[in-house]
Amino acid sequence: MAQKKQEYWQKQLETAYANPKYKQWIKTSKNIARRYRNQAFLSDNTRKKADLDGDCKGYNLLYRNVSVRLPFILPYIPKVQIDRTNRDNDQVARVASMILERTTAKLIDCPQFKRAFSYVKLDAELSNFGVVWVSYAPFYTQDGFLKEDVTFDYVSHEDFIWQKSKHWDDCGWVARRKRMTEEDVKKQFPGLRLPDDLTDDEMDEIEASGLIDEKDREDKTVSVYEIWDKWDRKVYIFHPTYKKILATYDYPYDIEFPCARPLSYDEFTDSTVPVSRHAQYLAQYEAVDDINKKITQIKNALRVAGGYDASIPDFGKIFDADNDNSLIGLKNTEKLNGKPLESVVWMLPQDNVVAALERLKTVRDEYINDIQKGLGIYDVLEGETQKQDAYGTNRLKGSFGTMRLQDDQKDAIYFVQDTIRIACDIICQTFEPVSLLAYSTIEYAEQDPELIIKALDLLHTDRLKNTRLSISLEDVRSYYDSDYKANISELWTNVFNQLTAVSGMVQQIPEMAIIAKPAIMSMIRGYKVGAFVEQEMEKAIDNAIAAYQERMAQPQQPTPDMIKAQNEQAKIQLDSQKLQLEAQKTGAELQNTQMKDATALQLENKRADAEIAKIVSDTEINKAKVSIMKQDAERKERELDAEIELALFSALHPEQNVDTNLGSIA
């Protein structure tokens, strides 16, 4: 049975390493890593020392792009947040979340955790694959006390192997390669009998399968695989050199794998084998390298060259390299005879060379812009703010500058969140209550011992499988003490405003006191800092409501102050009635005066209308008189004209007898 199991895992590992997509990805990732280090690409024969040590001097665009992207992917480890799923009145879950959050925060606040995720970011950027391995690591101190810890180990993409499938959910096993010396293997697995040393041919055969590599020979180490099989719930320690299972044990924790799904920015639907994002731009990177080589060649060829008239022998000293800011005495200059200097000096033309150089730089910049736009780096560079820019301009640049990187940021945050979730599962299943209390110091924040015991039992029994606790991470924003203080200030400001509004409502409608507590508590639970004062605030509200209800239920005896207040109230009411009567009297008088004024106004209006009618009638009579007078004047004027004409005619014709009175000839 053991022999079959050993052969099975030998076959599984060889099949995984022989996957064509996997082999191509490993080769491409190595070349990208060498380009990042500014080293030459690996040739097909990777054993050549010259290929491994060769340098690729020049413009390292990949290093620049990675250096710009890394700070924006995950600038710091986000603060872990563990809270009740529904933020309801579950006090046990509240205390349990505080214990687990404090414990986890202390365990991840260590150099190993930060260093592991720093390596993962770089590995994911170059190979599009980053892995962190979470382990339970208890040890005893010098005083003999048990110290429990959780370790976070970075696993290189070359040392991580998994069952190839279309989706990660279908992956049945994962393994990491640990490089150990033979002495370490024998010390860790005492009594193990290993066969004699293998021949070079046998080692070459094993290395060709991918189970070991050249590092084992160079560093004289042994590759040992730690395999986690989720279907059998078994862990195997496999020695590929001797094809032997060194150890087998059951899953120590109730988890799927000790690592989260690897950090990968680009995933595909047909395979879990990634493809480096920078591999998509290898052709552009190589084109930039070729252009840089041509630019270097042209720069080397771009130099001052030409000739001059030998009859002026000292003329060449002007172009000596040692001649700087000095004048040279020339002889036989009379031969110039007023001619321009170009007549005795001939320079080779450089216009075409300079134009070609500028064109190459333009093409190179176009390639660089295409690469940076695809990687989102162009947006970051365009989003760089300047001190002289306006406030709104800087905000716009800052928002747009990371727009294309936000998906990568989310992938990184989800990866950290899944890794911390695995750590929380391990903490809940393995840590002793004493260790949880020591890490969390919950006794200083919670005074109820029974509640603490129930919370510890909740973490140990239910763990994170139920819906009472949820794990998340804060946004990608800096978390400073000023933010914590601002949250506390905002919480208490809102609590004060809420209490003021609720107290006024309860005084008017006492029945509304029932909803006062849920309204205030829901607001407090909305703040993370409110978890520390939630229970005390709830007790204070309960006591206040109970005292108010008791006071309302008891019959109240009038006190001297109350009697005085009642008398003052009665006096105020009497004064108010007097004011009302005076107001009514004044209103009646005002109404009577208004009626009199209205009658007088009507009479005045009638009198004015009669006068206007009389004026109109007199005007019509006058118009008639004027018309008659005008007609009489016109008639007299016509008679006068006729008399003048007859008189004139009589004077001109005396022979005729004219009757000037009748206006006719006799």
Cα(538)–Cα(523) distance, integer angstroms: 12
Q: Which residue has the higher pLDDT, 412 or 476?
A: 412
Tokens of 658: 């004219």
Helices (H), 239-384: 282-301, 351-375, 377-382
Partners of 469 in beta bridges: 84
Q: Which residue has the higher pLDDT, 558 or 601?
A: 601
Q: Residue 123 — pLDDT band, cuts 50, 70, 90?
A: very high
Q: Which residue has the higher pLDDT, 107 or 402?
A: 107
Q: Which residue has the higher pLDDT, 319 or 474?
A: 319
Neighbouring C-beta atoms of residue 232, cutoff 10 Å: 14
User: What is the DSSP-derived secondary structure letter of residue 340?
Assistant: -
Which amino acid is it at 209?
S
Partners of 347 in beta bridges: 306
Given a contact cutoff of 8 angstroms between Cβ atoms, the answer to whether 374 and 281 are in contact is: yes
Q: Which residues contact 552 (CB under 8 A, 6 or more apart)?
A: 510
- Cα 364 off chain centre by: 32
Q: Which residues contact 104 (CB under 8 A, 6 or more apart)?
A: 80, 82, 420, 423, 424, 427
480, pLDDT greater than 60: no
- H/E stretch holding 581: helix 560-652
By percentage, how much of the chain surpasses pLDDT 90? Answer: 18
Q: Residue 426 — pLDDT band, cuts 50, 70, 90?
A: very high
473, pLDDT greater than 90: no
* Highest mean pLDDT out of 281-290, 473-482, 535-544: 281-290
Residues 85-98, mean pLDDT to the nearest whole number: 78
- H/E stretch holding 153: strand 150-155
Q: Cα-atom radius of gyration of the chain, to the nearest Å?
A: 52
Tell me the per-residue pLDDT of 263-273, one tens digit each, with 9 for 90 and over.
998 888 888 99
44, pLDDT greater than 60: no
The pLDDT score that the predictor gives to residue 173 is 96
Residues 504-518, mean pLDDT to the nearest whole number: 68
Residues 497-513, mean pLDDT to the nearest whole number: 71
The pLDDT score that the predictor gives to residue 392 is 44
Tell me the per-residue pLDDT of 286-316, one tens digit each, with 9 for 90 and over.
888 888 888 888 888 777 677 776 777 776 6
Cα(6)–Cα(2) distance, integer angstroms: 6
The pLDDT score that the predictor gives to residue 662 is 47
The pLDDT score that the predictor gives to residue 664 is 43
Residues 490-517, mean pLDDT to the nearest whole number: 71
Q: Residue 551 — pLDDT band, cuts 50, 70, 90?
A: low
User: What is the DSSP-derived secondary structure letter of residue 559?
Assistant: P
The pLDDT score that the predictor gives to residue 132 is 96
**What rounded mean pLDDT belongs to the chain?**
77
The pLDDT score that the predictor gives to residue 656 is 66
Q: Residue 650 — pLDDT band, cuts 50, 70, 90?
A: confident
Given a contact cutoff of 8 angstroms between Cβ atoms, the answer to whether 639 and 661 are in contact is: no
Q: Which residues contact 226 (CB under 8 A, 6 or more apart)?
A: 175, 176, 178, 235, 236, 237
pTM above 0.75, yes or no: no
Q: Which residue has the higher pLDDT, 496 or 417?
A: 417
Q: Residue 576 — pLDDT band, cuts 50, 70, 90?
A: confident
Cα(514)–Cα(549) distance, integer angstroms: 10
Q: Which residue has the higher pLDDT, 383 or 255?
A: 255
Among 108, 119, 422, 137, CA closest to 258? 422
- Cα 194 off chain centre by: 55
The pLDDT score that the predictor gives to residue 230 is 93
Tell me how far CA of residue 243 lies from CA of 5, 11, 618, in angstroms.
10, 10, 141
Q: Which residue has the higher pLDDT, 526 or 60?
A: 60
Q: Which residue has the higher pLDDT, 324 or 619?
A: 619
Tell me the per-residue pLDDT of 438-449, one tens digit each, with 9 for 90 and over.
898 887 666 678
Q: Residue 115 — pLDDT band, cuts 50, 70, 90?
A: very high
89, pLDDT greater than 90: no
